[in-house]
Amino acid sequence: MDGLYGLKPWFARRLASVRRALVARRVPPAALTWAGVGFGAAAGGALAVLPPGAVCAAAVAVLLVARLACANLDGGVARESGRTTRFGCVANELGDRLAEFAVFAGCLFAAPAAWVLGAACAAALPSWIALAGAAAGAPRVQGGPCGKTERCALFVAFAAFGAAPLLFGLVIAGSLATAALRLVRVARVLRTGAAPAGAAAAPLGAGGPR
C-alpha cells in the first residue's frame, strides 16, 4: 500500500529538465531543501490569513506542489552533481519536518488547536518509525495510506472546505495506520532480512527517499 508515494517516479520524470538546469547552474542541494521549507511556511501563511475557499485552496495547492518538487529535486541534484553527503540526509529530514510543521502552524489560526496539534504529532510518527528502522539496519520503509503527499492533499481540502474535525481526524487516523503498517514492515525485515514492499535503501545525501 504505497499510496500517492507510488507516483514519485512519475513526478521525478516531470522534473527532469528542471533538475538538469539546476545541476548545470550548480545550485546547492541545501538551497532546494530550505526552499521547500519556505514554500511550506508560505502555505501555512495562506491558511492563516485566507478564508476557506477556492482562492485559499489554489494558493495552498501551488505552494505545496512547489514544496514537494523541492523535496524531490534536492536529492536528485545532489546525486547528479556528485554532492551527496551524510549530513545532507540529516538536512533532508529536518527540512521535511520543518516544512510540514510550518503548514500545521498556519492551521492553528484557522482550526481548533487540539485537532491541529494532534494531527501534527500523529503525522510525525511514520517518519520516526522509518528512521528508527533504518538506524537498526532495515531499508527505509516508505508509503502507506497517509504519507507526506496524502497529507498535502488533505491540507488543500482543508483550505477549500474548512471542516477541521473531519480532515484533521483523517490525518490522525491515516497517520496512525501508516505508522502501524511501517512498524510491521520494519519488524518483518529485521526478523527475516527480506526487504519489504515500499522500502528503499537509506540515503547518504540530501533529499533521499522519505
Q: Which residues are CB-neighbours of 192 under 8 A, at least 6 positions away?
A: none
Q: Are 107 and 116 within 8 A, CB to CB?
A: yes
Q: Are 57 and 160 within 8 A, CB to CB?
A: yes
Question: How many Cβ atoms from other residues are within 10 Å of residue 91's Cβ?
Answer: 18
Q: Report the alpha-carbon distance of residue 146 to residue 175 in Å, rounded.
A: 5
| Grid cell 529530514 in the structure block, residue | 93
Q: Are 158 and 111 within 8 A, CB to CB?
A: yes
Provide, for the chain, the percentages of residues in helix, strand and coil under a 3-state DSSP scheme, each rounded to the nearest 5.
75, 0, 25
Q: Report the alpha-carbon distance of residue 60 to residue 78 in Å, rounded.
A: 27
| C-alpha cell, 67 | 514544496
- Per-residue pLDDT, 195: 62
Q: Look up the pTM and report it.
A: 0.89
Amino acid at 128: W
Query: pLDDT tens per residue, the chain (210 residues)?
Result: 567 878 888 999 999 999 999 999 999 999 999 999 999 999 999 999 999 999 999 999 999 999 999 999 999 999 999 999 989 889 999 999 999 999 999 999 999 999 999 999 999 999 999 999 999 999 989 888 999 999 999 999 999 999 999 999 999 999 999 999 999 999 999 998 766 555 554 444 444 433
